[in-house]
Chains A and B, each alone.
Chain A
């Protein structure tokens, strides 16, 4: 509890600093060094935003995309990724992938159409100098950073998270709760070559560094009539050589992300006595699948998101009605700081 109190004081300090912040315009940061947080916002509210945490003076600058460009990020910031001197931001509601420089200045707005309507990007991944993006309409896109042109190939229904290993992209097809496959796309031919059947409602996939084992995180699926959980969330392990899928002993799995040293982080969620969501993070060795124990002893109240970037773990917390919080950890599990994400629903962090 003592540590929590310390975080609370740190958060208060961060808040009191930001309380002095006046109305827009916000001052843009340049030569960004520190933590970049993408806030998802509320559906239909065009309130996605980017905040930058300065680790030296422990301040958080709000609305940094707006400050850099004089225009809003738009609706539902789903994913953010850095590749070389470019940052890619997938805007699910606004149906655009923004490409910016490292100061968040827009270089390109990538829009892809299907059936005469723009497609809604979800998650991003990077491999071999290219950026890959899933589109809710059932496609995987490949963005060439030199031209910002996109080519697409069909995958399953409502694809969510993806990972790339050994020249293949693995895409979780959620089917909005009703699909149960992972598409395997060969990047050379850019065609789906296989579909692996997994637990219903897959959301995130992570592969070990040798491309031998794929880990799949699926969420609860419900019976549409009784609302009973028909297929509980699972963490599954897929042996890519044999195609064998086995269940791992984890319940209430919320998210998995690739960490350093062939390890991955697993976020699990439970409820505390007040029915508030309490998240806990574990570490798994991806080569063996062995549980390496808790990443941190902290219980994350109102757990919302988990991401890893450049040696730092970001755990987002949200109550969906006020600014979120970010618990920023080093990869060894030591807490750097807890700060206000300056926006609704902190979705993802990048460390630059």
Chain B
């Protein structure tokens, strides 16, 4: 990890040939994944480009043990869960900053733009990276998106303009400008606009009646923009400052209700974020990082249901301020200690009658140690979390203190090949959200955090055979969720309670291959398979005792294949998901069919001009090519076959 950081910092402002870096990071990242003492998966931007992947939900299909809940269409909410844990157990990090939602715990990953990123990675049940914000230690797993830092040649400027058109009236212009401002400073800007009618056709099966329908009220338009300033301060210090803006308006089509279709809800978002981070290496034994961020997320929900005399019109405003400091001490090679402290402030204002205007301050303190020499890697972390809350009306939830320990170990076997065995353990939790605690009548201020425990054991193998290389990982796990926060019905109203208990036994297998067959053909292939036995063990007398929890396939897998040639790159990805049940009780009426989604991409980048400074990237994709009519969430149909083309000109 340290190597990667140093590489990153070195490459930031100073000229470097992009290709060299690319190869270096690809190799580096694969090694990191194989060496990791807890499951780590990573994909680099180059592979995303070659497989024609433009959204995070598409990218995550090829990750083992990851489930994206997708309500369909570009505007439909997409959340990511790790190994049958609810999405609220997934920590989401963008460029080292945690993105969260204190109101409902759900981060919509559909809004991430992948046009200028470096990599996407997912860590499950632990991490070898101990130089990062303390609060990540409280998540069962972490999804991390890292943006590409600017790399300049002698001109000191880079720019690209892109236009993408897709099925169902989707237009997506994108602009990116990066400029070196001085020896030490560089600035970047990108803006991404998406407009989509989202009126995709689907087939509605109602027993013997099959009708061709159009998804109604699924339009979306959004603008996402970011401007960053990067600077080198002192000899080994770097500063990054960023302003981000996201704004959108979308129709909420709701579930497809049989015999009547009249969706009438809309959602507006306006999210502004400012952040700054500073990283320095004061001497060879110390490394420090500190960051500050402020996020203001506003949204408006309107229900135009004709049943209401006046439309329901609700506003929500969330604020999050966060301060994070990390120090890493390396007394000798391969031995690191870190201490991290996060302070996070959250608040929620809403126009909903009865909103008590909750505010929360959470302090996360983590201490970690890492040993990484020759064959053995061992990491241990303990994180303490203290939560305090205030409300303007009524009484707040009680303060809480919670500890999350984790430990992992990996050992490289004394063989000729790079075969490692690993084991990890992690206790984590999710805090009750503001909705869980305070939402109108159902909120319950006495809720405890929902606890997750994970035990993982597995092996990784990597082998280079000259031009060919193989890597594989196999892991088995035993997880428990206790005090699951669920809505429990009572006489007149529902209330949130800590009553659920879920047992998960599963396995993730993954494999990847890369081979150069000649100067003109490189093939990359990867595949993964996941088995999840995730059952409700709350109450032996209940009808759903030991039934698979809702929306969790027992079997799923994915694969991808990329052919790189000088003339064209071809990428193919597929995802297969087994039967699921949409209800806690697994009865035939609630079974949903398995599905397979295949996608194909053809792309090529032309270079021209003096010293090949100009490039034109062209890409065409066909998604869900077999036009399978499937649903991730029952009665939220996914689009069938769709196409998109991209033209991107870069300097």
Contact = CB atoms under 8 A, between A and B. Distances in A.
Contact of A269 (B307, B491, B585, B591): B491
A47 B590 contact: yes
A222 B258 contact: no
A66 B207 CA distance: 7
Chain A, interface SS category: loop
B262 A117 contact: yes
B587 interface: yes
Interface string A240-281: 000000000000101000000000000001110001010000
Interface in A303-351: 303, 318-323, 340, 342-344
B542 A319 contact: yes
Given A71-B207, A322-B584, 13 more contacts: A22-B588, A23-B591, A45-B582, A45-B634, A75-B258, A109-B259, A115-B306, A118-B260, A224-B353, A225-B393, A233-B492, A277-B489, A277-B490
Interface stretch (A53-61, A87-95, A143-151): A87-95
A157 to B, nearest CB: 8
A97 to B, nearest CB: 11
**Max chain A Cβ within 10 angstroms of own Cβ: one of B257, B488, B497, B582:** B257
Contacts of B582: 45
Nearest to A274: B499
Contact of A63 (B307, B493, B584, B589): B589
Given A45-B582, A344-B583, A227 B354 contact: yes
Nearest to A138: B307
B206 interface: yes
B441 A118 contact: no
Contacts of A95: 259-260
B352 to A, nearest CB: 9
A219 interface: yes
A322 B585 contact: yes
Interface in A111-128: 111, 114-118, 120
Contacts of A223: 354
B589 A70 contact: no
B589 A91 contact: no
B255 interface: yes
Given A45-B255, A75-B258, A227-B441, A254 B589 contact: no
Interface in A204-227: 219-220, 222-227
B584 A252 contact: no
Closest 8 A/B residue pairs (Cβ): A224-B353, A70-B208, A322-B543, A322-B585, A321-B584, A44-B255, A74-B258, A94-B259
B394 interface: yes
B440 interface: yes
A11 B382 CA distance: 49
A136 B305 CA distance: 12
Interface of B: 206-209, 254-260, 262, 306-307, 353-354, 393-394, 440-441, 488-493, 497, 542-544, 582-585, 587-591, 634-635
A96 interface: yes
B558 to A, nearest CB: 27
Interface string A27-62: 000000000000000101111010000000000001
A145 to B, nearest CB: 21
B491 A24 contact: no
Contacts of A292: none
A219 B591 CA distance: 36
Contact of A226 (B393, B488, B583): B393
Given A91-B259, A222-B441, A277-B489, A47 B207 contact: no
B353 A93 contact: no
Contacts of B207: 66, 69-72
A160 to B, nearest CB: 13
A71 B307 contact: no
A275 B490 contact: yes
A225 B353 contact: yes
A15 B208 CA distance: 28
A120 B307 contact: yes
A79 interface: no
A271 B544 contact: no
A343 B589 contact: yes
B254 A44 contact: yes
A21 interface: yes
A37 B278 CA distance: 65
Contacts of A142: none
A179 interface: no
Contacts of B259: 74-75, 91, 94-96, 109, 111
B641 to A, nearest CB: 25
Contacts of B256: 46
A63 B206 CA distance: 13
A321 B207 CA distance: 23
A137 interface: yes
Contacts of B394: 226-227
Nearest to B441: A227
B307 A96 contact: no
Contacts of A70: 207-209
A94 B331 CA distance: 68
A275 B499 CA distance: 11
Nearest to A223: B354
Nearest to A76: B257
Contacts of A220: 492-493
B535 to A, nearest CB: 13
Nearest to A136: B307
B139 to A, nearest CB: 26
A223 B440 CA distance: 10
B486 to A, nearest CB: 9
A271 B488 CA distance: 13
Contact of A71 (B206, B489, B584): B206
A289 to B, nearest CB: 24
Nearest to B487: A320
Contacts of A114: 306
Nearest to B582: A45
A223 B356 CA distance: 13
B305 to A, nearest CB: 8
A45 B584 CA distance: 14
Contacts of B493: 220, 222
A62 B585 CA distance: 15
Contacts of A275: 488, 490, 497
B206 A322 contact: no
Contacts of A46: 255-258, 635
A321 B583 contact: yes
A88 to B, nearest CB: 15
B134 to A, nearest CB: 35
Contacts of B542: 319, 322
Contacts of B440: 224, 227
Nearest to B584: A321
A227 B445 CA distance: 13
B634 to A, nearest CB: 6
Contacts of A109: 259
Contacts of B588: 21-24
B391 to A, nearest CB: 12
Contact of A94 (B257, B393, B488, B587): B257
A318 B492 contact: no
A120 B306 CA distance: 11
B491 A117 contact: no
Nearest to B309: A157
Nearest to B495: A275
A222 B354 CA distance: 10
B449 to A, nearest CB: 20
19 contacts: A45-B634, A46-B257, A47-B583, A63-B589, A66-B207, A69-B207, A74-B259, A75-B257, A94-B257, A94-B259, A96-B259, A225-B353, A252-B491, A269-B491, A277-B491, A321-B585, A322-B544, A323-B585, A323-B587
B490 A116 contact: no
A173 to B, nearest CB: 14
Contacts of B254: 44
